[in-house]
Structure formats: structure tokens, C-alpha cells
Amino acid sequence: MALDMGRLVSEMTQWRRHLHANPEFGFEEKRTSAFVASKLREFGLDEVVEGVGGTGVVATLRRGSGNRSIALRADMDALRIPEQGSRPYKSRNEGVMHACGHDGHTAMLLGAARLLAEESGFDGTVRFIFQPAEEWGRGALAMIDDGIMQRFPFDEIYGIHNMPGLPVGHFQTRSGAIMSAEDNFEIVLRGIGGHAARPHSGNEVLVAACALVTSLQTIVSRRLNPTDIGVVSVTELITDGTRNALPGLARILGDARSFRPEVSAEIEKQMRIIAEGTALMYNIAAEVIYTREFVPLLNDPALAEEAFAAAADVFEPGSIEVRQEPMTGSEDFARFLDYVPGCFVFLGNGQDSPPLHNPNYDFNDDGLIHGARLHAAIVRRRLAGNAPIRP
């Protein structure tokens, strides 16, 4: 029986606005998970398991006798950003908001689950993965550590993210690198603080910190191969000084982006060289703490082509685009790709949409039906009775 699409759009809009009004930070998505699980059981899925990776939900839908399985993934967490604006479904959780559209991603995947449960049209198994804590790069790892690959095995995985600036009803993806790795760093400088009137009596660290911040900008411009993409951004400089006291401790924090492990390793190496040289020059001590939070997101070339083919069933030909350049944002969907091939795609959130992580951002409800239909189209293409296995 064909599902009433007008009714589905209305329901997804209600779900999305409910989620937007009740955002929860990573690993705190208890009400969100309960809402998702309740809807999935209402749709009649074969299995709904809560608490995967802390607050994640995995649901399973089987049809026919096919032995292949694919996964569709959405993220559920919100950000610690106070929401601005006066929309009626504005966040009721002070200081937390869905500023990245995960409310929309969740509603789209719920819509796809309902659509596939009622209309079927595939032969095999679908895993619907609702993931916690994407924003700080821990949710996918938590689900993997909790045995998702063994408990709910699948052969390939797909994910969708909304894209401000891209018109609603437009689709983008690309083969290979599509989103970057994210490394975090903290450089701690230790010296001897003292009175602002007597800088010669100690080894203050602020001048050294300022020199170091400037020198870090040469890593990308002078120390990486110009053909490699890299970003090094200092985002914080914190000291223990005050108006009339020179600091003896300074902390420089920031992040670095890249698309290849070799580039990430070179950035860390050069950062340590610069920090050590600066410390020697100013007669202070330096410690570099460098961590890798997100890995690069690399789309499988064959499955990217499959995603384009599925998009042709949903979007107008002129609305399907090959993304020309990868973006330097990061996504922990990439963690699943260490285990199975997959593809991550972008759907338009509107040309006038505020950017992601902006206090005025809102997911565009007009895009919900496109995401639900795309999820379903991927399933029906990849789990058709005669669908080719990935080359």
C-alpha cells in the first residue's frame, strides 16, 4: 500500500519541531532516544534496540529473503549554543539548540523507516542507526565499542547532512575525500611571571605565546606541500596574568584540518618543532598536547556512483551535483567507514539559510521529504533482488 506523502510530510515536520524544541547534548539524548524508539516501534519494525553506545538506537527492518544488509545513519545530538529568534518551537532547554540540523536528520530517517516499513520494495535487511554525540566525535566510536558491527552487521552505510547555501531539493556528493579530519591541540607555555613594571625579573610567557601563534601560521603556508590541503587555526590564548601582572603560564588552543594521515602527522611534527624552538628562544618550557578527534571522511567511489543513481529517482536532473571540492568540516560518520564502505551526501537547506552552528540556524522543513525519499531510494536500489554487490 502506498503511503500518503502529504501525511508523511506533516508527521515529519511535527517530529522535527518536537525534537528542535527539546534538544539534548551528546550522550544526554535520553528523551530523544525514547521518542525515536517509540516511533520506530509504532511503525512496526522487526527490532528496536536502545542504549547502543550509551544513548544510541538501532532498528532493523527485514523484507524478502535477501542476505545483504545496508545501514542508514542519522545523528541526534544538539550543541551548547543559546538559540536566538522567536520561532514557536524554539529550544526549551536553555543554552542548548539544534544548530546543525540533527533534528532534521533524525526526522528524515524516521520518515524513511515509516516509508520502507509500509511500502517495502526491497529484498534484504535495513539497519536504521540513530547515533549520539556526533558533535564532539565520540558517538560513532561509542556505538562501535558497544559492538554495533557484530550485533547489527551491515555491508555498507549511508548518511545525509543538510547544507546551508545549497537550494532545497538539491543533492551533492563526491567520490573520495568529502570531509576532513579534525585534530585538536593545546600548547602549554611555562615560565616565571611577575610584576608588569619589572619584566626583566622573570621569564614571562605572553610575548612568547604571541610569537608562537604567529609562527604556527607558517605550517600550512611554508611547511606543507602546496598541493596538500591543511588548516591550522588558533582559537584560544589563555594566560594567568592580569592588568599589572605578567603571566607565568599560557595555553594556546586550536584545531587542525587535513585529508590525509600523512598531512596530519606533518602538522603535528612541525607544531612540535616550532613550539620547542620558541621555548628555547624565550627561555621557557613548552608542552604540546595533540589529539586526533575526527578521521577524514572518504566516500567509496562505487557507492558514490550508486548514491548518484539513487538521487536520480528523487531529484530533478539539474539539481544533482558533483561536489567539486571537499569541505574542511568534520563528521564522525567516517568512523564507520573503517569497517564497511559507504557514502555521505549533502542535501540543500536553502540559499538563505544561516550557517551551521549559528544561533539563528534552523533546519528547513521543506527538505524533509527529499531526505526520506533519498534514504528509501538507496535501500531499494542497493537491496533490489538483482542489485550488484560493491565492486
Q: Domain of residue 204: give its range.
A: 181-294
**pLDDT at 377 exceeding the cut of 90:** yes
Q: Is residue 91 part of a domain?
A: yes
| Domain count of the fold of the chain | 2
250 and 323 within one domain? no
Task: Tell me the pLDDT of the chain averaged across its residues.
Answer: 96
Q: Give mean pLDDT, residues 201-208.
A: 95
**pLDDT at 297 exceeding the cut of 90:** yes
Which residue, of 269, 294, 319, is where some domain finishes?
294
pLDDT in tens, 164-176: 999 999 999 999 9
**pLDDT at 388 exceeding the cut of 60:** no
Q: Is residue 391 part of a domain?
A: no
Q: Give mean pLDDT, residues 254-282.
A: 97
**pLDDT at 161 exceeding the cut of 70:** yes
CATH at residue 342: 3.40.630.10
User: Cβ distance 157 to 70 under 8 Å?
Assistant: yes
User: Cβ distance 63 to 83 under 8 Å?
Assistant: no
Q: Is residue 341 part of a domain?
A: yes
Strand order across the beta sheet in which 285-294 lies:
230-239, 249-258, 181-190, 285-294
124 and 23 within one domain? yes
Q: What pLDDT score does 3 carry?
A: 87
User: Cβ distance 366 to 91 under 8 Å?
Assistant: no
283 and 306 within one domain? no
**pLDDT at 284 exceeding the cut of 60:** yes
218 and 269 within one domain? yes
pLDDT in tens, 68-121: 999 999 999 999 999 999 999 999 999 999 999 999 999 999 999 999 999 999
Q: Is residue 116 part of a domain?
A: yes
pLDDT in tens, 222-245: 999 999 999 999 999 999 999 999
Q: Is residue 229 part of a domain?
A: yes
344 and 286 within one domain? no
Which residue, of 242, 276, 294, is where some domain finishes?
294
Return the axis-axis angle of helices 30-43 and 102-119, rounded to nearest 10°: 20
Q: Is residue 282 part of a domain?
A: yes
**pLDDT at 289 exceeding the cut of 80:** yes
Closest CA to 113 of 16, 51, 48: 48
Q: What pLDDT score does 29 carry?
A: 98
Q: Give mean pLDDT, residues 212-220.
A: 98
141 and 15 within one domain? yes
User: Cβ distance 2 to 119 under 8 Å?
Assistant: yes
Cα distance between residue 199 and residue 244, in whole Å: 11
Which residue, of 294, 316, 350, is where some domain finishes?
294
pLDDT in tens, 8-44: 999 999 999 999 999 999 999 999 999 999 999 999 9
309 and 160 within one domain? yes
Cα distance between residue 142 and residue 159, in whole Å: 17
51 and 197 within one domain? no
Predicted TM-score (pTM) of this structure: 0.92
* Parallel, antiparallel or unpaired: strands 69-75 and 156-163: parallel
* Parallel, antiparallel or unpaired: strands 171-173 and 342-348: antiparallel
Backbone angles phi, psi at 367, to 5 degrees: -90, -10
Q: Give mean pLDDT, residues 179-188.
A: 98
Look at the block and give the residue holding cell 515509516.
114
Helix (H) or strand (E) holding 160: strand 156-163
Q: What pLDDT score does 231 carry?
A: 96
Q: Is residue 173 part of a domain?
A: yes
CATH at residue 199: 3.30.70.360
302 and 163 within one domain? yes
Q: Is residue 389 part of a domain?
A: no
Give bridge partners of residue 238 from the DSSP assignment: 251
Q: How far is CA 108 from CA 38, 112, 113, 319, in A?
A: 16, 6, 9, 19
Q: What pLDDT score does 176 carry?
A: 97
251 and 362 within one domain? no
User: Cβ distance 266 to 227 under 8 Å?
Assistant: no
- The amino acid at residue 123 is D
61 and 29 within one domain? yes
SS3 sequence, 275-333?
A: HHHHHHHHCCEEEEEEEEEECCEEECHHHHHHHHHHHCCCCCHHHEEECCCCECCCCHH
144 and 31 within one domain? yes
Total length of the chain: 391
124: left (phi over 0), alpha (psi -120 to 50) or beta: left
Enumerate long-range contacts of 288-293, CB under 8 Å, 24 or more apart: 288/185, 288/186, 288/187, 289/185, 289/186, 289/187, 289/188, 290/183, 290/184, 290/185, 291/183, 291/184, 291/185, 292/181, 292/182, 292/183, 292/264, 293/136, 293/137, 293/182, 293/183, 293/184, 293/255, 293/330
**pLDDT at 390 exceeding the cut of 60:** no
Backbone angles phi, psi at 198, to 5 degrees: -130, 65
Q: What percent of the chain has pLDDT over 90?
A: 97
Q: What percent of the chain has pLDDT over 70?
A: 98
Q: Give mean pLDDT, residues 271-288.
A: 98
